[in-house]
Amino acid sequence: MSIARSLLLKASRSQWLARQASERAFAKKAVRKFMPGEELSDALDASASLKADGFGAVLTQLGESLTGISEADAVRDHYLALFDEVKRRELPIQVSVKPTQLGLDHSLEECRTHLLTLTEKARTTGGFLWLDMEDSSYVDRTLDLYRSMRANYDRVGLALQAYLRRTPADVAALLPLKPSIRLVKGAYAEPVSVAFEAKRETDLAYFDIALTLLGASAKGQCYTILGTHDIGLLARLTARAAEIGAKDGDWEIHMLYGIRTADQRALSAAGRKVRVLISYGRKWFPWYMRRLAERPANVWFVVRSALAG
């Protein structure tokens, strides 16, 4: 891992830096590169524009690691209202949540109850609920939560991270559930004992795991999401998908708002199903630091925003 990436990921865990950044106008300006605005209405408006251009969206409210379990009630209620609003506005929006945002650090069972409530809401409103994957200390519990959700509901999916050495085994264990899986490379600082250190190793693992998922999708055993902006990798996987019989309706591509926008349009124009994940909310600091860590050159954009006042 590069020094810049490692420093940015370390900074992402600083409460002090989070407080400083959220009060600085230049930081708020810089963060707009990756989010249409802090309010839910900003994300809904952006989703409506994306719909007009043929894209679906996935919405997530930023915020992780609550200070107390009672905060999770408000998060649950926020998402319940969001499912209703999405139905009312007839927008092609799915929802993605982080287990820690629903209290996983405080109570696995309360987090499970909240997730099942949201899953039921997704079912009754025709929505879809995704579980993000956080750092490796949460993987076992997140898989356990996903199994509970999947036991009774179809419209639920899970993110898995290609950089984790365990992921091929997790995929094999999940496939009998006919899961929906969003494969991403992985965004956290992890010890080399659990995750690949070299980007090249992660990229190779991504390709292999994605082929397994696409193969399962071709047989109706999985719904595959390729959650990446790596255009070369997507081109290779798209070619292989056709060879192994995974049709366009069996899989799709998800990318983050503000990243590789021209490529999102080109992929959509070429017939791929593309969804854009839009984040909103005031607690953007740790998430924003992870975006900077993915491409430390982004830091220059922040510096330019600061100098411009």
Residues that bind ligand FDA (CB under 6 A): 132-133, 159, 161, 182, 184-188, 227-230, 254-256, 259-260, 277, 291, 294-295, 298
Here the tokens at position 301 are 């954009």
Task: Please check whether residue 131 is in contact with residue 94, taking contact to mean a CB–CB distance below 8 angstroms.
Answer: no
Instruction: Note every long-range contact of 21-27, with CB atoms under 8 Å and residues 24 or more positions apart, other chains counting.
Output: 21/285, 21/288, 22/282, 22/283, 22/284, 22/285, 24/306, 25/309, 26/302, 26/305, 26/306, 26/308, 26/309, 27/302, 27/305, 27/306
Here the tokens at position 274 are 């593309």
Is 89 a residue of the active site? Answer: no
Q: Minimum CB separation from ligand FDA for residue 158, in Å? A: 9
Residues near 135 by Cβ (< 8 Å), separated by ≥ 6?
188, 189, 190
Task: CB nearer to ligand FDA: give 37 or 296.
Answer: 296
Residue type, 214: L
Task: CB nearer to ligand FDA: give 181 or 219.
Answer: 181
Task: CB nearer to ligand FDA: give 121 or 185.
Answer: 185
Three-state secondary structure readout of 177-220: HCCEEEEECCCCCCCCCCECCCHHHHHHHHHHHHHHHHHHHHCC
Q: Minimum CB separation from ligand FDA for residue 124, in Å? A: 25
Task: CB nearer to ligand FDA: give 84 or 207.
Answer: 207
Task: CB nearer to ligand FDA: give 16 or 251.
Answer: 251
How far is it, in rounded angstroms, from Cα 73 to Cα 65?
14
H/E segment holding residue 235: helix 231-243
Catalytic residue among 76, 112, 182, 291, which?
A: 182
Residue type, 133: M
Is 132 a residue of the active site? Answer: yes
Residue type, 84: D
Q: Minimum CB separation from ligand FDA for residue 144, in Å? A: 16
Q: Minimum CB separation from ligand FDA for residue 33, in Å? A: 8
Catalytic residue among 76, 105, 112, 132, which?
A: 132
- Which residues belong to the active site? 132, 182
